[in-house]
Structure 1
Amino acid sequence: MVSTMDSPSEGMKGSGKHVSGMELKYQGRKTSRANSEQRRRTILEAALRIVVRDGVRGVRHRAVAKEADVPLSATTYYFKDITDLITDTFTLFVEMGAQKFKAYWEESDSMLKIAMKELEPSEAASRQVFAERISDLAIEYVLIQLREHRDYLIAERAFQQECLRNENLRPIAFSHQKFFLDSLETFFTKIGSNYPDIDAELFGSIILHVEYQGLIAGFDGEIANKLRAMLKRQIELMLGIYH
């Protein structure tokens, strides 16, 4: 289940934490002892598994205590109400996702630099090859998400839906979205976009759509080719390649 979403290397702090430029604040009871922090973390990870399996509305103190194999009193000790438990579960999810996303694009940076060196903006053929390479990079990211982090994508959509009902989750969702879009804006700035912020919004929407289609319909060869064509076409439009 959610164990595929690797834990951050540093311990979670109740008072807040900076992750890749984001400040994430936890709402539950603050902890100072290592064993207390670990139990709190165990509870949140259990809640995250429930989100993947049953949706956010499945997160209840009793259900989480059972999933985490801890006394019911432990969940109510760290989280005074279900709102704090759900909010901190989403905060943990965003923290884990930001680190994973950042790590992937740092690893891909060398590929981007190579492609940039070979790009001749004035030549259509060169821009076409560049679009192909960037498309490959984007589809590889989506494939990794669908094959190795499917639970992460399911949890992401569950939290997005819950944001429509729970306004306490919206600031966290905005932070999550902003990190994603800022990373894409940096990417489009590097490749010379005249409108990196707009391109980031458009391309981010395409990626989310492609991920959703992959979750619903699977990701066999035919679907993969169709979705790759969508990503490639969007990049071509952004690079001014019309045909």
Structure 2
Amino acid sequence: MDSPSEDTKDSGKHTSGMALKYQGRKTSRANSEQRRRTILEAALRIVVRDGVRGVRHRAVAKEANVPLSATTYYFKDITDLITDTFTLFVEMGAEKFKAYWEESDSMLKMAMSELEPSNSGSRQVFAERIADLAIEYVLVQLREHCDYLIAERAFQQECLRNENLRPIAFSHQKFFLNSLEAFFSRIGSNHADIDAELFGSVILHVEYQGLIAGFEGDNLRKLRAMLKRQIELTLGIYH
């Protein structure tokens, strides 16, 4: 999995507007911080391969190629280790989403400049372009960050059992939905928050379908049609 762009900070870090707080032992030396991050990245690989329940001190130490005493030094129990692994995951995801949103902003502005709310033909063209942007985002996720999507599903499932992870999950969801809400506000939605929830749910479903059924041929066309249809409904295009 990709590594975060900056060192993990135990005292808390703001990532794209989110305050992320790590639970494990605080570190002050760079080499200690690097070892701690190595352990968390190893735990993330285990989450992808074996699920959250596969994260155990001994398994993580082996995966990270560090002594068992290192994992127990930085994380007093398995709860702290899993919580900090999820925190790192959310931090990485926020940075990736922010980068993609910024790269797509120019294309979004171009599409919006041609949007005439009273013109159904204009709205149809806009829906096509936004569907293209959305499916491109999903395809990038599936092709380049498949491990991230698998880990996301694993953590979502674990949140049903582990209430300690839920605040982190809410932060993860909030950043994603805030970005979508800002988009729907820009195109004049009167219910941007609801539209963000609906479109976000469709994106998550499309990603899941891509993971289990593939994203080529007929399935790709179906995924794109789902995204386009949700945009059409949001814009009031019925046919």
Task: Verify: 1:209 aligned to 2:205, yes or no.
Answer: yes
Extract unaligned runs of 5+ from structure 2.
Answer: none
Equivalent AA in structure 2 for residue 99 of structure 1: E
Task: Give SS of 2:25's match.
Answer: coil
Query: Identical aligned pairs, as a percentage?
Result: 87
1:8 Cα deviation (Å)? 2.5
Task: Give SS of 2:177's match.
Answer: helix
1:188 Cα deviation (Å)? 0.6
For residues 24-35 of structure 1, the aligned pairs below 5 Å read 24-35=20-31
Q: Write out per-residue CA displacement over residues 36-87 of structure 1, whole angstroms, 9 at most, x where no aligned residue.
A: 0000000000000000000000000000000000000000000000000000
Q: Normalising by structure 1, what TM-score?
A: 0.97
- 1:78 aligns with 74
- 1:125 aligns with 121
In structure 1, how many angstroms separate the alpha carbons of the residues matched to 2:238 and 2:216? 28
- Which of the numbers 48, 61, 67 marks the counterpart of 1:65? 61
In structure 2, how many angstroms separate the alpha carbons of the residues matched to 1:68 and 1:38? 12
Task: Give SS of 2:46's match.
Answer: helix
- 1:237 aligns with 233
Task: Verify: 1:165 aligned to 2:161, yes or no.
Answer: yes
Equivalent AA in structure 1 for residue 229 of structure 2: R
1:9 Cα deviation (Å)? 2.1
Q: Write out per-residue CA displacement over residues 162-206 of structure 1, whole angstroms, 9 at most, x where no aligned residue.
A: 000001000000000011100100011111111100000000000
Task: Give SS of 1:30's match.
Answer: coil
- Which shifted more, 190-199 or 29-38? 190-199
- 1:224 aligns with 220
Equivalent AA in structure 2 for residue 17 of structure 1: K
Across the aligned residues of Structure 1 and Structure 2, the Cα RMSD in angstroms comes to 0.6
- 2:183 aligns with 187
For residues 31-42 of structure 1, the aligned pairs below 5 Å read 31-42=27-38
- 2:136 aligns with 140
- Which shifted more, 115-124 or 101-110? 115-124
- 2:104 aligns with 108
Q: Normalising by structure 2, what TM-score?
A: 0.99
Task: Verify: 1:56 aligned to 2:57, yes or no.
Answer: no
In structure 2, how many angstroms separate the alpha carbons of the residues matched to 1:40 and 1:102? 25
In structure 1, how many angstroms separate the alpha carbons of the residues matched to 2:52 and 2:4? 22
In structure 1, how many angstroms separate the alpha carbons of the residues matched to 2:231 and 2:113? 18
